Amino acid sequence: MNKKLIKTYIPMSETFYYILLSLSEPRHGYGIIKYVGEMSGGRLTLGSGTVYGTLSKMRKDNLINVFVSSERKTVYKLTDDGRELLELEMARLKQVYEDTQKQKEFFNADAPKAKPARNKPVFV
């Protein structure tokens, strides 16, 4: 994979990550929006402008291609570079999680617990 792509996209924005993740199977733009909403439990709501702008950038950088295009829908799929980039980000996020778990002892058990982010939708 091109090192410039890694430098450009790692770490990924949440939007970019979820769009790539949603393309674990071919999907069209609206299918991506619905899938990300469901996968995030409604926490992340993607706007169509954000999705199509991101898909355009992903195509330009050969992270996805058009799987099939019809009169009304264009279906996208990951390329090998897109899959590799997604796997690199997943490994990075796993390491962040593991590092965080190592630090749990420093948090005060009596401190108020933060509410899960899933309660508040994020509109992008």
What does the pLDDT read at residue 48? 94
pLDDT in tens, 37-94: 999 999 999 999 999 999 999 999 999 999 887 777 899 999 999 999 999 999 999 9
What does the pLDDT read at residue 76? 96
Compute the radius of gyration of the chain from its Cα atoms. Answer: 17
pTM as predicted: 0.82
What does the pLDDT read at residue 21? 97
Q: Which residues contact 85 (CB under 8 A, 6 or more apart)?
A: 1, 5, 6, 9, 10, 20, 63
Greatest Cα pair distance, the chain, in angstroms, is 59
- In percent, how much of the chain has pLDDT > 90? 72
The candidate with the shortest Cα–Cα distance to 78, out of 121, 7, 17, 15, is 17
Structural fold of domain 13-100+119-123: Arc Repressor Mutant, subunit A (1.10.10)
